[in-house]
Amino acid sequence: MDIKKKTWINFSLSALLSLIVWFNFSYPQLSLMDLSVDRKKAVQLTEKYLKEGGYDFNGYRRAVVLGRESNATRYVQKTLGFGGFRGFVEKNNIDLFFWRTRYYKEHQIEQFNLTVSSSTGRLIGFSHLIKETDYRRPIEKEEAQQKVADYLAKRISFNPDEYKIKNDNKSNLDQRSEYSFTWQKNDVEIPWSKEADSGTGKLLTGGTVAGDEVLSFSSNYFDIPEKFNRMLAKESSISDNISSVVSVFHVILFVGAIFYIVLRRNHLSMHLTKRFYIAITCISFFLSLAANANNFQSILYGYSTTSSFNSYIARFIVGSAMNALLATVALLMPSLSGESLRYELLREHKHGSFLHYINSTFFSRGVAGLIILGYFCFLIMLGIQSFITKIGQTYLGVWVEHTLSGQLSTAYLPFLAAFTVGFKASFTEELMYRLFAISWGKKLIKSTLIAAIVSSLIWGFAHSTYPVFPMWFRGIEVSILGFFLAFVYLKYGLITVIVAHYLFDVFWSSSGYLLGKSLPADFISSIVVLSIPAAFALIAFKLNRSEEEKEMAWHLNKHQLYNLGILKEHLKNNTDKFKGKTKEEVFAEIISHGWDVAVVEIAMKD
């Protein structure tokens, strides 16, 4: 496709304006992520602590995942706004991200759980789980409280004068008594609303002691009132209701895709593109398996020691393979169906599917231009999202949680996790909601515009469970992005929207490494993953092959070629039998006897 100079100017200016909007509205909310301490360093710090405490953890399995402070993030943003939240975090040394390390043994209750700040490396939480029947010497409440206070003062520089006691509990077990104490910071009490019984958010620090051992402690834990939790639960239920309705439309789309696969299984457009899509689905399948292996620490962290470890892993492997297989089917069905429907209903829009490139080349300057246009569209999407979110925050009480970077940090290779998210989402969703849904919508309702709007709404509200509150707002935000992608798809084709979608998801998946504090390797690898489409564009630009399409033709195997010779001979020797019949009637009659469509079509043409 030859993109006009005016188009480049318009998209360039739009991308620049969008970048300015995003920088002013969204960037400040992404700069708080600090991953200066990596997984390896966190493990070293936890092992050092256990050794200093005299604990024997030899033979224990270990799992390390990245966690995040969600209570304070949600509550303080909602009550004080982002500016107030940022000041609250800095004043009270809140650790928004931290490494959780677990040491455990199969079929054993005893285990160690330690939490290390990802920004400072200090230990901010610890628990030693022991059997109910383990003995610890009896002590009085006053001694127990002093032990916990002294321990906290040593570990986290706890100053009792800045706190007031909130709870003190005693649990009597068979061989010991456990005392738990919680202190509330004096100057932190944030009301949920002006109502007297609304409750307040509190900053807590506490610990549990039995005999001479402090079994657990946690520092700067933010406690949120019940009314806020109920509000969140209500929002989640609304989101679940929306998701249930949208899932019906998903099923309809998927069944429709299968229907057209069966109905048009011998369509030439499917025949020419099926190898390409099978290759894409194979890549998606292996990426899914690689993603599970890459995120294996999360699997290890979730292991319950009451079951066999090997059986737990075996169940995980089987479940992962099945889920990956289902995901590939979800990609393949709408792809092939979309190709045949697009060929029938939007034939003039040849860049709207991969058939044109499969039948010509992917390595042309036209393709290079479409890829670069995808980068501009990605920046415009950032600006649209930031602007919509700003409106929501100003007038609708919206607040946003950026969680994806934290989730991917648990992976051994975060850049591979980001690439997997971008690749799978961009191909699966663009092929379903742009290629197939718009083409099918036009066939059903005879309007490309309405088809684009409906498919964008379904795609948008499928995202309503994402961490944006109120959660229905995410559906509106993504639907508007869907309208933009539908416009780009209908104007410039499938390659541009896949590239834009890929970049958008990869960027948000790695934004913490790009904009926050992280290790150089994570920053550089994130840049590399974002540059993959540009590298392909450079290769295409250099090769600059012609996009002239070859004549669409069936590719026959040896068995089909043998049958072709037989059928051609039969047609030559039985011309009288078909006299007076149209070509379509002859075609239908031969097909009714079980002949291969490709063989019949070529034989009649010859």
Per-residue pLDDT tens over the stretch 47-80: 999 999 999 999 999 999 999 888 888 888 888 8
Do 20 and 48 lie in one domain? The reply is no
Tokens standing for 412? 């051994």
| Gap between the Cα atoms of 431 and 591, Å rounded | 31
Are the CB atoms for 87 and 409 separated by under 8 Å? no
Are the CB atoms for 43 and 102 separated by under 8 Å? no
Do 36 and 56 lie in one domain? The reply is yes
Strands 111-117 and 123-129, by their bridges, are antiparallel
What integer best gives the mean pLDDT of the chain?
90
| Gap between the Cα atoms of 259 and 265, Å rounded | 10
Are the CB atoms for 334 and 254 separated by under 8 Å? yes
Q: What is the CA radius of gyration of the chain?
A: 30
Do 377 and 485 lie in one domain? The reply is yes
Are the CB atoms for 370 and 467 separated by under 8 Å? no
Q: How confident is the model at residue 405 (pLDDT cuts 50, 70, 90)?
A: low
Rounded mean pLDDT, 525-548: 96
Residue type, 66: L
Buried b vs exposed e over 109-128: b needs ≥16 C-beta within 10 Å? ebbbbbbbbbbeebbbbbbb
User: Is pLDDT above 90 for 21?
Assistant: yes
Q: Is residue 310 part of a domain?
A: no
Beta-ladder partners of 62: 103
| Gap between the Cα atoms of 524 and 443, Å rounded | 46
Q: Is residue 510 part of a domain?
A: yes
Residues near 390 by beta carbon (within 8 Å), at least 6 away in sequence: 25
DSSP conformation letters of 385-446: HHHHHHHHHHHS--EE---HHHHHTTSSSHHHHHHHHHHHHHHHHHIIIIIIHHHHHHHHHS
How big is the CA angle at 564 (ends 559 and 569), to the nearest 5 degrees? 135
CA dist 448 to 156, 233, 346, 427, 437, Å?
62, 39, 9, 21, 10
How big is the CA angle at 163 (ends 89 and 194), to the nearest 5 degrees? 65
Do 586 and 600 lie in one domain? The reply is yes
Do 536 and 565 lie in one domain? The reply is no
User: Is pLDDT above 60 for 406?
Assistant: no
| Gap between the Cα atoms of 203 and 537, Å rounded | 52
User: Is pLDDT above 70 for 548?
Assistant: yes
Q: By CB neighbour count within 10 A (0-12 exposed, 13-18 middle, 19+ buried), where does 166 fall?
A: middle
Are the CB atoms for 296 and 412 separated by under 8 Å? yes
Q: Is residue 131 part of a domain?
A: yes
* Structural domain ending residue among the three candidates 224, 252, 283: 224
DSSP 132: T
Q: Is residue 294 part of a domain?
A: no
DSSP conformation letters of 166-216: EEEEEEE-SS-EEEEEEEEEEEEEEESSSSTTS-EEEEEEEEEEETTEEEE
Q: How confident is the model at residue 403 (pLDDT cuts 50, 70, 90)?
A: low
What is the per-residue pLDDT for 407?
Answer: 62
Q: Is residue 339 part of a domain?
A: no
Residues near 513 by beta carbon (within 8 Å), at least 6 away in sequence: 35, 405, 414, 522, 523, 525, 526
User: Is pLDDT above 80 for 31?
Assistant: no
Do 502 and 533 lie in one domain? The reply is yes
| Gap between the Cα atoms of 124 and 116, Å rounded | 6
Lowest model confidence (mean pLDDT) among 217-231, 350-364, 486-500, 566-580: 566-580
Q: By CB neighbour count within 10 A (0-12 exposed, 13-18 middle, 19+ buried), where does 206 fall?
A: buried
Do 112 and 259 lie in one domain? The reply is no
Residue percentage of the chain with pLDDT more than 70: 98
Q: Is residue 305 part of a domain?
A: no
* More confidently predicted of 413 and 29: 413
Rounded mean pLDDT, 410-439: 94
Q: How confident is the model at residue 571 (pLDDT cuts 50, 70, 90)?
A: confident
Rounded mean pLDDT, 293-311: 94
Q: How many helices (H) and strands (E) does the chain have?
A: 21, 10
Do 196 and 236 lie in one domain? The reply is no
Tokens standing for 374? 């995808």
Number of domains comprising the chain: 3
* Structural domain ending residue among the three candidates 489, 513, 543: 543
Domain with 366 in it: 5-25+231-271+347-543
Phi, psi of 603, rounded to the nearest 5 degrees: -60, -45
Closest CA to 118 of 57, 40, 52, 217: 40
Do 535 and 407 lie in one domain? The reply is yes
DSSP 26: T
The per-residue pLDDT for range 225-250, each reduced to its tens digit, is: 999 888 888 888 888 888 899 999 99
Q: Could you tell me the strand order of the sheet in which 177-191 lies? A: 61-68, 97-104, 111-117, 123-129, 213-223, 200-210, 177-191, 163-172
Do 164 and 237 lie in one domain? The reply is no
Q: Is residue 302 part of a domain?
A: no
Beta-ladder partners of 203: 222
Are the CB atoms for 467 and 457 separated by under 8 Å? no
Q: How confident is the model at residue 593 (pLDDT cuts 50, 70, 90)?
A: confident
Closest CA to 437 of 351, 337, 330: 337
Beta-ladder partners of 64: 101
Tokens standing for 40? 């390896």
Give whichever of 264-273, 386-395, 408-417, 446-455 has the largest mean pLDDT. Answer: 446-455
Residue type, 366: G
The per-residue pLDDT for range 467-488, each reduced to its tens digit, is: 677 778 889 999 999 999 999 9
- Reduce the DSSP state of residue 126 to 3 states and report it: strand
Beta-ladder partners of 400: 468
Do 455 and 567 lie in one domain? The reply is no
Do 75 and 139 lie in one domain? The reply is yes
Q: By CB neighbour count within 10 A (0-12 exposed, 13-18 middle, 19+ buried), where does 526 fall?
A: buried
Lowest model confidence (mean pLDDT) among 197-206, 337-346, 392-401: 392-401
| Gap between the Cα atoms of 488 and 486, Å rounded | 5
Phi, psi of 177, rounded to the nearest 5 degrees: -120, 140
Q: Is residue 538 part of a domain?
A: yes
* Structural domain ending residue among the three candidates 224, 251, 286: 224
> What is the distance, to the nearest Å, from the Cα of residue 521 to the centroid of all Cα atoms in its chain?
22
Residue percentage of the chain with pLDDT more than 90: 64
* More confidently predicted of 579 and 63: 63
Are the CB atoms for 53 and 128 separated by under 8 Å? no
User: Is pLDDT above 70 for 85?
Assistant: yes
